[in-house]
Amino acid sequence: EMVELAVGRWGERILTPGMALDHSAISRIVFEDETEYRWVCETIHPLVREEMERTVESLDGWVVAEIPLMFENGVPGWIDLTVYVEAPENERVIRNASRGWDRDELRRRERWLLGSDRKKKMADFVLCNNGTREELEERASDLGSRFLSLSSLVRVCFALGSPEASRRLFRELSRNERVLEVEIAPGEECKWSDVFHVDPGLIVSAIVRSGDLEETMSMATRISGEGGPVSSILSGERRFPKEVLMRAMGSDKG
């Protein structure tokens, strides 16, 4: 579909003898004319993102997606956290020299992009790529380890026997530094089966790391009295609120 759209827009001059897209020819068109550049952003990139989203939905675990013009075109709703990799212009000129690009060519290709300072503010985390590849890999590995730790997050939901017990558990969990979020009467995240009716006002949910789950369960049992909570379940949700993820990662952007 993308090939058909591109050929319909620019003709067969953008095809190689093998009938594949000639990216150099497309670049000459797109980076010379803002109208053509905007057309690519509005027409081609959404199709690329749709394909990326389908791929992500078919995968388990955490996924890293490299998205061209992510901030220019808007961060997709299926993205949890963003990372912007920055490098000074002089470094970018040196690194792109192997492509035959000089400073003027680099600026020509970047002239309609958002500025680096603005994208740094928009990103959740920033990786500075102003050194060696080994230094970048070390920084990326550290950030990746922090991302990977998010896979241990779980939401546990408790149904207590009284409003007083629910409020008491809420207060105790709120004071615990290992609890990333606690709520009374949460939404669809804590849904028992239809055969077991639970008053929403008696439900307390907490997001913790799996290693802290046992301690959280014990706290609920102690506070609710003999016999423990009326019921508890683990939510099966795969995504958590962004503020929870940022809290779990720490506030340092990079």
Average pLDDT over residues 115-128: 96
In a domain, 37, yes or no: yes
**Those residues with Cβ within 8 angstroms of residue 14's Cβ, 6 or more apart along the chain or in another chain:** 6, 7, 21, 22, 25, 26, 29
* DSSP β-bridge partners for residue 157: 205, 233
In a domain, 185, yes or no: yes
Interval 48-77: pLDDT, tens: 889 999 999 898 878 899 988 899 989 999
In a domain, 66, yes or no: no
Q: Distance between CA 84 and CA 107 in Å, rounded?
A: 19
**CATH code of the domain in which 176 resides:** 3.30.70.120
Domain end position, chosen among 25, 40, 60: 60
- Residue span of the structural domain in which 52 resides: 1-60
Domain end position, chosen among 43, 60, 77: 60
What tokens were used for 72? 């220019």
**Is the Cα torsion angle 162, 167, 170, 175 positive or negative in sign?**
negative
pTM above 0.85, yes or no: no
Contact 122, 69 (CB under 8 A): no
Nearest to 5 by CA among 44, 42, 55: 44
In a domain, 182, yes or no: yes
Parallel, antiparallel, or unpaired for β 231-234 and 153-159?
antiparallel
Interval 94-121: pLDDT, tens: 999 999 999 999 999 999 999 999 999 9
How many structural domains comprise the chain? 2
Residue-averaged pLDDT of the chain: 89
Domain end position, chosen among 23, 41, 60: 60
In a domain, 175, yes or no: yes
Residue bearing tokens 């190689």: 16
In a domain, 214, yes or no: yes
pLDDT for the residue numbered 254: 62
Interval 149-175: pLDDT, tens: 898 999 998 988 888 888 999 999 999
**Number of neighbouring beta carbons within 10 Å of residue 37:** 18
Contact 203, 185 (CB under 8 A): yes
The proportion of the chain whose per-residue pLDDT surpasses 90, expressed as a percent, equals 62
pLDDT for the residue numbered 252: 64
What tokens were used for 100? 């035959």
pLDDT for the residue numbered 33: 94
In a domain, 35, yes or no: yes
In a domain, 206, yes or no: yes
- Place 35 in a pLDDT band, splitting at 50, 70 and 90: very high
pLDDT for the residue numbered 224: 77
